[in-house]
A and B are shown apart, each in its own frame.
Chain A
Amino acid sequence: MKVLHAVFLLLALAAPTPVFAVEPNEMLSSPVLEARARALSKDLRCMVCQNESIDDSGAPLAHDLRVLVRDRIKAGDTDQQVLDFLVARYGEFVLLKPPLSWHTVALWGLPPTVLLLGAVIILLDLRRRRAVPVEEARASLSAAEQTRLAELLRDSSGS
């Protein structure tokens, strides 16, 4: 019997079952509560998985966490309380959307910074280019072009 048990364990370890996340028997009977649980699950990481939410993962830990989330919801927790509970237990690693704090400032701040900085650089560049004086632009012309320009200007003022 013991041998059989060991063989079974070995098989279970060697043959990871295919991804099949939320199982029918885990789901809450109330559609409203279940919808909340699903929405929360999408923001929570399955910590032993590779970049998967507990809603997508078929791992046993993800199953345990899904059940835990549903237990807390049944117990009357708000969404925030559920998240706080999980962060207290597993750390911020469990959140797929890191909250804004001193060590994520650069993460959240970079996209708007790049956008603003880029916009400022472009505006400055446009202003600088428009400020190029006519004389300087003219000086960059070759002698032949200068004469031609002078002719054109004379023509247009003459007519």
Chain B
Amino acid sequence: MIPEIGQYALMLALGLALIQGTMPIIGARNNDPVLMSIAAPAALAQFIFVAIAFLALAECYVVSDFSVLNVFENSNSQMPLIYRLTSLWGNHEGSMILWVSILAFFGALVAVFGNNLPVTLKANALGVQAWIAAAFDLFILTTSNPFLRIPDAPFEGRDLNPILQDPGLAFHPPMLYLGYVGFSIAFSFAIAALLEGRIDAAWARWVRPWVLGAWMCLTLGIAGGSYWAYYELGWGGFWFWDPVENASLMPWLAGTALLHSAVVMEKRNALKVWTILLAIIAFSLSLIGTFLVRSGVLTSVHAFAVDPRRGIFILAILAVFIGGALSLYAWRAPLLKQGGLFAPVSREGALVFNNLFLTSACATVLVGTLYPLALEALTGEKISVGPPFFNATFGPLFIPLMLAMPFGPLLGWKRGDIVAAAQRLLAAAGLAAIAVAAAFAIEQGGPVLAPFGAGIAVFVMAGAVTDIVERTMILRLPLRAAVRRAIGLPRSVWGTAFGHFGIGATLLGIVAVTAWGSERIAELKPGDSIEVSHYRLTFDGVFNRPGPNYRDMVGHFTVRRMSGEVLGVMEPSRRTFPARNMATTEAALMTRRVSQLYLSLGDPNPNGSVAVRLYFKPHVLMIWLGAIIMFLGGALSLSDRRLRVGAPRPAKKAKAALQPAE
């Protein structure tokens, strides 16, 4: 009964989406308030029905109802509750249900919090949002229905792929989808603005919180996936330039560009046409990502679905939405008025620079991801585009971006003084130079350019701090006055500083771990030792440990400093899952400040020895801490009164008192 309710609810949601996608838009054209007023309640009702479908499927997973094909194929009654629940989105059909649930959730948010929007804009935006929802509801019902039954219900399910039985699955896909789908709001608003043929700075003010929220979730989602791959795959790689990863990186790059161009639009009423295009691009890339992952067009570690009908359906969705949006853009964009003049050297100029390089980087990832597919489809020729290509093309595009980043916030709007900005960044540059020298002195080996990479990272971080130091005048004013200024700074200024600091931290981690990480591969007998960096590990032996739905073969290692002081034990294991007759390596990690020791276990040999891989990963945690700092930056910026969703305009007086001198 429950799955039938779920399917029925989804069909009702499709019907509601069709109504929501037509009536309000007709209403907006004819200025009919009654038709327009349908949008908000329809969006809410649609969300309720999609939520019912989602909960129905969740219930099937929780109670292990193996009469449902989807549950039978992806779950097992022996799994702990958390994995029974998360296996809902560990497969194609279930993850699409999550996708439309989040889409409907965002639609409902706009309906509830969009009271300060112009009525026509709100009606059009919700209408466009409903088209997307309708397309994906139809996709699920016709090609990927998770509610299908099996006539003779089996006693036990096939189990979830062991690699996915991890807390990472609870976190990574929902965050990623919140990011992907969050950009749909910016898309809907962009299309709504094009439909109306009118756009102004206020548009950016309404859209920016959504973009910011989506960007924050995507940042954490990508970082979480990266950390998951790092500890799960057994050799400590954190980024593989895998097409599925690229699929999430592209919307992130476009979204980051959008975040910055929307600032220019909001503050200076410039870059309007470009911002609209970016909003379309960011969500189009999310759709392309969905296509790449869900159609099975890629043969990659993440892609499980292989069914051409689905691929063609999603391709049709892509063609309609991206093609339609771009055509509408080409037709309507020339009608939008440009505004806001600025000199090349100015805050606006810096943000244009940012957009140029981010867009180029995004195009690089796009071509690298799609080129092999396109070439094979057109000529039958097979080539591989892997990490060496991306390192050679993406890297050089990011260096100027990083070098320019600290200058941006220090330049004034309209006309900036680059010499003054450079003078203020002298201290940051000095710190960077010290970092380069220190890296050369301390680290032997590694690529010659690596210390400079570390220097750039330090420059970015110090540059972010410089901005705050300058604005609070902490070096010139008494502490109390500086603290008062710091509290009075707009939160978005803090957000910028955190965001920029975070990317610097991530860069530092990436440079350190790729350039100066060390690795030992050895075969050890009990009692043998192995050394890496300043640590010595002794292999004590192997023992077995049962788990809920697996058994572990655990290696026991004692970690010591070179001086002999015991630091702790590491217990990597090989985990066997009888339900699928599969095994995974469970690496052991030991954190030393922001660095980690990483140990994984190979097959045991008949003579009692075992192959191990041991890594020292210097500063590796900076990669993900940086992402968390970026997320906090987004949160700070989102809490800025001027940006808050639905916040009334702050009183002029209070604002003037708090506003610091820029």
**With a CB–CB cut-off of 8 A, which chain A residues contact B522?**
24
A148, chain B: closest CB distance, angstroms? 19
- Do A91 and B382 touch across chains, with their CB atoms under 8 A apart? yes
Decide: B356 and A96 in contact? CB cutoff 8 A.
no
Q: Is the CB of B234 within 8 A of A115?
A: no
Q: How far is the CA of A14 from the CA of B367 in the complex (A)?
A: 36
User: In chain B, what residue has the closest Cβ to A137?
Assistant: B341
Of the candidates B242, B383, B389, B581, the one whose C-beta lies within 8 Å of that of A15 is B581
Q: A17-B603, A20-B585, A129-B341 are in contact. Are A98 and B383 (CB under 8 A)?
A: yes
Q: Which of chain B's residues 586-645 have a Cβ closer than 8 Å to chain A?
A: 600, 602-603, 611, 613
Q: In the bound complex, how far is the Cα of B379 from the Cα of A92, in angstroms?
A: 14
Decide if B152 is an interface residue (CB 8 Å cutoff): no
Q: Are B367 and A110 in contact (CB under 8 A)?
A: yes
Complex Cα spacing A27 to B235, Å: 17
Residue of A nearest to B163 (CB): A18
A128 closest partner in B (C-beta): B338
- Chain A residues with CB under 8 Å of B272's CB are none
- Residues of A90-119 at the interface with B, using a CB-CB cut-off of 8 Å, are 91-98, 103-104, 106-108, 110-111, 114-115, 118-119
Which residues on B sit within 8 Å (CB–CB) of A79?
none
B343 to A: closest C-beta gap in Å: 9
B78 near A: Cβ within 8 Å? no
Alpha-carbon distance A25/B522, docked complex (angstroms): 9
Contact bitstring A50-81, B, C-beta under 8 A = 1, else 0: 11110010000000000000000000000000
**CA gap between A11 and B582 in the complex, in Å:** 10
B242, B360, B613 pick with most chain A CB within 10 angstroms: B360
On chain B, the number of residues with a Cβ less than 8 Å from chain A's Cβ atoms is 54
Tell me whether A50 and B300 are in contact (CB under 8 A). Answer: yes
Q: With A111-B393, A122-B356 given, is the CB distance from A45 to B582 under 8 Å? A: no
B614 to chain A, nearest CB (A): 12
In the assembled complex, the CB of A10 is this many whole angstroms from the nearest CB of chain B, namely: 10
Known A18-B574, A103-B375: A93·B382 in contact at CB below 8 Å: yes
Instruction: Please report the C-alpha to C-alpha distance between residue A68 and residue B240 in the assembled complex, in whole angstroms.
Output: 24
Inter-chain contacts of B338 with A (CB < 8 A):
129
Residue of B whose beta carbon sits closest to that of A129:
B341
Which of B242, B382, B521 contacts A27 (CB under 8 A)? B521
B389 contacts A20, C-beta separation under 8 Å: no
Interchain CB contact under 8 A, A19 and B235: yes
Chain A residues 12 to 35 lying within 8 A of chain B, measured CB to CB, are: 14-25, 27
**What's the minimum C-beta distance from B648 to chain A, rounded to whole angstroms?**
29
* CB-defined contacts of A107 to chain B, threshold 8 Å: 367-368, 371, 385, 389
Chain B residues in 8 Å Cβ range of A19 = 233-235, 585
A93 and B384 contacting across the interface, CB-CB below 8 Å: yes
How many whole Å from B584's CB to the nearest CB in chain A?
5
Q: Are A118 and B360 in touch, CB under 8 angstroms?
A: yes
A4 CB–B CB distance under 8 Å: no
Given contacts A24-B522, A103-B379, A115-B397, contact A18 B386 (CB under 8 A): no
B354-369 toward A: CB 8 Å interface, digit per residue (1/0)? 0011011001100110
How long is the Cα–Cα vector from A71 to B393 in the complex, in angstroms?
32
Instruction: Take A18-B234, A20-B234 as given contacts and tell me if A51 and B364 are in contact as well, using a CB distance cutoff of 8 Å.
Output: no
Say whether, besides A16-B582, A24-B522, A126-B344, A111 and B383 are in contact (CB < 8 Å).
Answer: no
CB-nearest residue of chain B to A94: B384
Considering the chains assembled together, what is the distance between the CA atoms of A22 and B602 in angstroms?
10
**Given contact pairs A51-B300, A104-B383, A114-B360, A22 touches B521 in the complex (Cβ within 8 A):** yes
Q: Which of B300, B360, B602 contacts A23 (CB 8 A)?
A: B602
Would you call A20 and B611 a contact (CB within 8 A)? yes
B523 proximal to A (CB < 8 A): yes
Inter-chain residue pair count (beta carbon < 8 A): 131
Residues on B with beta carbons closer than 8 Å to the beta carbon of A114: 359-360, 363-364
* Alpha-carbon distance between A126 and B583 when the two chains are bound, in angstroms: 60
Cβ distance A34 to chain B, nearest Cβ, rounded Å: 10
- Chain B residues whose C-beta falls within 8 Å of the C-beta of A130 in the assembled complex: 341
Contact A56 B237 (CB under 8 A): yes
Tell me which of A43, A50, A118 contacts B356 (CB under 8 A). Answer: A118
Of B237, B383, B386, B387, the contact of A92 (CB 8 Å cutoff): B383
B392 contacts partner chain A, Cβ-Cβ < 8 Å = yes
Please name all residues of chain A whose beta carbon is closer than 8 Å to the beta carbon of B234 when the two chains form the complex.
18-20
**Which A residues touch B371, using CB under 8 A?**
104, 106-107
| Distance A81 CA – B283 CA, assembled complex (angstroms) | 45
Q: How distant is A90 from chain B, measured CB to nearest CB, in Å?
A: 10
Do the beta carbons of A15 and B582 come within 8 Å of each other?
A: yes
Measured in the bound complex, the distance between the Cα atoms of B233 and A53 in whole Å is 14
Q: Give the contacting residue for A97; candidates B359, B379, B382, B386; CB below 8 A.
A: B386
Taking a contact as CB atoms closer than 8 A, the residue among A21, A50, A97 that contacts B389 in the complex is A97
> Which one, A14, A53, A91, contacts B581 given CB within 8 A?
A14
List the B residue with the shortest CB-CB distance to A119.
Answer: B356
Per-position 1/0 for B327-363, Cβ under 8 A of A? 0000000000010010010000000100011011001
Q: A51-B301, A126-B344 are in contact. Are A118 and B359 (CB under 8 A)?
A: yes
Q: Which residues of B contact A106 (CB under 8 A)?
A: 367, 371
- In the complex formed, the residue of B with least CB distance to A34 is B521
Q: Which residue of B lies closest to A18 (CB)?
A: B585
B167 CB, min distance to chain A CBs, angstroms: 19
Q: Which residue of B lies closest to A140 (CB)?
A: B337
Asked if B352 contacts A122 (CB within 8 A), the reply is: yes
Residues A20 and B582 in contact in the complex (CB < 8 Å), given A56-B235, A97-B388, A115-B360: no
Closest beta carbon of chain A to B439's beta carbon, Å: 21
The residue in chain B whose Cβ has the minimal distance to the Cβ of A101 is B383
Smallest distance from the beta carbon of A39 to chain B beta carbons, Å? 11
Shortest A22–chain B CB gap in Å is: 6
**Residue of A at shortest CB range from B240?**
A51
Q: What are 29 contact pairs spanning A and B, CB under 8 A?
A: A15-B582, A16-B582, A17-B603, A18-B584, A19-B235, A23-B521, A27-B521, A50-B299, A51-B241, A51-B300, A52-B301, A56-B235, A95-B384, A96-B384, A96-B387, A97-B385, A97-B392, A103-B383, A110-B363, A111-B360, A111-B364, A114-B359, A114-B364, A115-B356, A115-B357, A118-B359, A119-B356, A122-B352, A129-B341
11 new A-B pairs (CB below 8 Å) besides A20-B613, A93-B383? A19-B235, A24-B611, A25-B523, A50-B301, A56-B235, A96-B386, A96-B387, A104-B371, A106-B371, A107-B371, A115-B397
Interface residues of chain B, those whose CB is within 8 Å of chain A, are 233-235, 237, 240-243, 298-301, 303, 338, 341, 344, 352, 356-357, 359-360, 363-364, 367-368, 371, 375, 379, 381-389, 392-393, 397, 521-523, 574, 581-585, 600, 602-603, 611, 613
The 5 closest A-B pairs by CB, nearest first: A96-B386, A97-B388, A111-B364, A18-B585, A115-B360
